[in-house]
């Protein structure tokens, strides 16, 4: 069967938590508590990575690492990363349940894909403990993939490593990487897909890359909405995405297009 067999989704910012706000506010808070003011863009840049890797990535940003040295009279070290993470996890856990609503169009689209015989997988930058909150609460609201895995299941090798995608393929019995589509909302998601050799799709509306809440997005004029969508899609393509979609309802049609490409012998990254 030369067509797409499965779709692997990211979680926050792709299928739940419009705008991916649960972790970003906590990153800003923990750095503020350490005496370092970080801006939203800095907190979002590594989004999609395993959260301790995310903290490490923020500390290596030139402006933040300079601020750290000015504040503490030394470069940051691994103990600092662990200290920040020790503060991050409980703070995120205390609010996570509030960020488990499926993003508009997700429940209906997943239902449609399943009815077409596609398997639904997922990967995340959250740990297993965090997903123990997210998964059952999202399920109560209508969204649940056939399989999910966290970096805890791949020896803490999260994105951009491809291993979570491979575990999905194994669990869901997907026969080849070019019969798999990965949908995500961050540069890390795109890189994970590229490294796994699967079709990579960036989703714009509701994404961490766009960084707007549903109310903020809806408050924009149609023209301004198009501008932020275009900027977000351009970023995904620069990171190696094969395709971008504005929102989840466009995915089934895109999968038909990918099926046509597969039947023509095309593979990811060889458009």
The one catalytic residue among 51, 179, 182, 191: 51
C-beta of residue 235 within 8 angstroms of C-beta of residue 187: yes
Distance CA 144, CA 227 (A): 32
Tally of CB atoms within 10 A around 253:
10
Of 10, 185, 189, 242, catalytic: 10
Half-sphere exposure in the Cβ direction for 90 (13 Å, CA): 4
Cα 66 to Cα 72: distance, rounded to the nearest angstrom: 10
Active site residue 51: yes
For residue 207 the two structure tokens come to: 């994404």
- Could you identify the residue written with the tokens 């933040």? 64
Catalytic annotation on 266?
no
The DSSP letter of residue 99 is G
d(CA 160, CA 6): 20
> Cβ(217)–Cβ(231) under 8 Å?
no
Other CB atoms within 10 A of residue 260 CB: 11
CA distances from 16 to 71, 86, 159, 165, 268 (A): 37, 25, 19, 19, 26
Active site amino acids: 10, 51
């Amino acid at each position: 069967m030369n067509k797409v067999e499965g779709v692997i989704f990211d979680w926050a910012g792709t299928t739940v938590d419009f705008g991916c706000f649960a972790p970003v506010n906590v990153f800003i808070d923990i750095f503020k508590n350490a005496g370092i003011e970080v801006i939203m863009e800095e907190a979002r840049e590594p989004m999609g990575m395993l959260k301790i890797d995310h903290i490490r990535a923020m500390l290596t940003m030139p402006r933040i690492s300079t601020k750290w040295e000015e504040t503490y009279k030394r470069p940051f070290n691994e103990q600092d990363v662990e200290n920040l993470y020790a503060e991050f996890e409980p703070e995120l856990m205390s609010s996570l349940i509030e960020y488990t609503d499926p993003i508009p169009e997700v429940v209906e689209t997943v239902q449609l894909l399943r009815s077409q015989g596609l398997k639904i997988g997922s990967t995340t930058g959250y740990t297993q403990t965090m997903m123990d909150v997210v998964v059952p609460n999202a399920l109560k609201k209508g969204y649940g993939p056939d399989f999910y895995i966290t970096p805890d299941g791949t020896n803490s090798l999260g994105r951009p490593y491809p291993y979570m995608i491979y575990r999905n393929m194994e669990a869901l019995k997907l026969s080849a990487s070019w019969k798999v589509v990965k949908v995500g909302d961050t540069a890390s998601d795109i890189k994970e897909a590229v490294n796994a050799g699967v079709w990579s799709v960036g989703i714009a509306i509701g994404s961490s890359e766009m960084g707007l809440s549903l109310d903020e997005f809806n408050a924009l004029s149609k023209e301004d909405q198009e501008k932020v969508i275009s900027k977000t899609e351009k970023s995904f393509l620069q990171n190696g995405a094969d395709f971008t979609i504005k929102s989840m309802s466009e995915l089934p049609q895109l999968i038909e297009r990918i099926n046509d490409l597969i039947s023509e012998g095309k593979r990811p990254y060889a458009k």
